[in-house]
Amino acid sequence: MKELQKITIGNIRIVYRPGEKSNPDAAAIHKAASFLNRKTGVTPQNLQISKKSIDARKRSELAFVYTVYAELDCKPSVIGKLEKEPDIKRFTEPELNLTCGTRPLEHRPVIVGFGPAGMFAGLVLAEHGFRPIIFERGADVDERVAAVERFTREGILDTDTNIQFGAGGAGTFSDGKLTTRIGDANIAYVLRKLHELGAPADIEYKAKPHIGTDILRDVVRETDRVITSLGGEIHYKTKVTDITDKTVTAGGSVVPYSVLILATGHSARDTYAELLAKGYLIEPKPFSVGVRAEHLQEDIDRALFGSFAGDAMLGHAEYQLSYREGDRGCYTFCMCPGGTVVPSASEEFGVVTNGMSTRARDGRNANAAVCVSVKPEDCGSTPAGAIEFQRNLERCAYRTAGSDYTAPMQTVGDLLNGTKGTNYSRIVPTYRDGQVRPCDFHEIFPPFVTDLLKKGLTDFGRKIKGYDAPDVPLTGVETRTSAPVRILRGETLTAPGHPGVYPCGEGAGYAGGIVSAAVDGIRVAAKIIAEYRP
């Protein structure tokens, strides 16, 4: 008996020759259809690109590598034989398939934070009838954009609404990169849901998907709309100032809860202090600090794509670089093609940098964090010490650059040669439209950071021509790469000694980016749904 079988066929390589009137996507689908027809005698249906990446290892030959989804109306035995082929796999729909428990909830679930973890926890709970109440200390998207633009233009910082805090979390003002190193069945669900919420369709199949900050803002607005349409509540500009085992104080009101999800993000230092004071088990964990390196995007394209640089089909080149020395590493993080370096402070008297790109990635510069790993013992092996390590660097950067949210900048040439004072020339830093001041990072970072930065940059220059060019500007400081601490949780995903409290996402130390934070939000929501009834 015939049945509709869903499969994917991978490792389809299509050599790309710019200038020819070719369509690599169509060629990949044709190649997959021909292969399947030849192997099964069945004409496949509904062929679609499932995964797409660029292989640029050979400068003389660029290729796209595909996985193609297809449906076959055939006997199951045909698929059984087909699965013996190394690149054929059965396709499974990315569904959650959650079943609600039976334990009654006296109060509605409360979520603290509306970044990726809080958004997806709230979305899944709302879709299953739990009507969550969400408190976000920052403003909604539109008011947040205005606050960030005011800080960029005038140096007026709102400590509750900024690039770290507000609707969508820190990811709203980023490249919207969706790559992740975790392996989890819910990644495909997150990507599909983001597409449903307004992200471009290609995030579901590109090997290095990104949304762009401009589109992300619409996605966050739509997530808000969906949650509230299902009976959830989102309270912006409502800071949680006290947490007990039964209530939270939010915006001056005491709100009871049965389950509480802490999805505060990695910059909620006041929340960390509150939890430490209440006896929560929190440990320091490794994190990284460094600078933002800026290059002309056309230089990066040329270095990685050679004569193919500038071809619209390829887009802009991306990179990820690393260098290790013993148990410490220097690596690039959050590379933003055609992007800007953005002022990301959330506390007064501190300078923090991050990177951001729009969907088009059409800026003149590429930027990436170049960071050095920091170990717990570098910070006294305490959570308070880890937080102070970050804060001290940010305040030192603020003072060194003039105490007006101008950022310290040093050229690669000065850093490598132990000199200072050279201003930028060929490459104009994008932080606050060039509001940087030549400084010496040796006066800001401890020696282990500057020593490994120099070795890492030199190594990266061997891998990408011009990466360590003397006139490349480095803007600092990059300190919020991840949470410096982890709020411990047990097998039930609750904090030990606090059975109704679920630490979650990047701020709790269980994620590192939009997708992994969203997946952790789903994981926590699923745990609650499995135990309780709406």
Q: Provide DSSP, 369-403.
A: EEEEEE-GGGGTTSHHHHHHHHHHHHHHHHHHTTS
The packing angle between helices 141-154 and 213-229, to 10°, is 150
* Closest among 534, 532, 533, 493 to 117, alpha carbons compared: 493
Rounded to whole angstroms, the Cα distance separating 489 from 497 reads 10
Peptide bond before residue 477 is cis, with ω within 30 degrees of 0? yes
Residue type, 475: T
Structure tokens at 199: 């992200």
Structure tokens at 267: 């910059």
What pLDDT does residue 104 have? 95
The packing angle between helices 213-229 and 116-127, to 10°, is 30
Q: Is the per-residue pLDDT at 351 higher than 70?
A: yes
pTM confidence score: 0.94
What pLDDT does residue 375 have? 98
Rounded to whole angstroms, the Cα distance separating 349 from 352 reads 10
CB atoms within 10 A of CB 483: 28
Q: Is the per-residue pLDDT at 176 higher than 70?
A: yes
Q: Which helix (H) or strand (E) holds 312?
A: none
Mean pLDDT of 428-455: 98
* Closest among 212, 233, 229 to 114, alpha carbons compared: 233
In percent, the amount of the chain with pLDDT more than 90 equals 90
Q: Cβ distance 67 to 12 under 8 Å? A: yes
Rounded to whole angstroms, the Cα distance separating 221 from 141 reads 7
Mean pLDDT of 267-273: 97
296-305, 309-318, 516-525 — which is least confidently predicted?
309-318
What pLDDT does residue 165 have? 98
What pLDDT does residue 20 have? 66
What pLDDT does residue 130 have? 98
Mean pLDDT of 292-307: 96
**Confidence class for position 148, pLDDT limits 50, 70, 90:** very high
**Confidence class for position 404, pLDDT limits 50, 70, 90:** very high
Q: What is the pLDDT of residues 35-57, one digit of tens each?
A: 999 999 999 999 999 999 999 88
Sequence length of the chain is: 534
Q: Is the per-residue pLDDT at 408 higher than 70?
A: yes
Q: Cβ distance 264 to 271 under 8 Å? A: yes
Q: Cβ distance 18 to 60 under 8 Å? A: no
**Confidence class for position 318, pLDDT limits 50, 70, 90:** very high
Mean pLDDT of 214-234: 98
What pLDDT does residue 56 have? 85
Mean pLDDT of 358-372: 97
* CA 293 vs CA 109, 296, 425, 469: distances in Å: 42, 10, 14, 11
Rounded to whole angstroms, the Cα distance separating 521 from 169 reads 13
Rounded to whole angstroms, the Cα distance separating 323 from 329 reads 6
Rg of the Cα trace of the chain? Answer: 24
CA 447 to chain centre: 29
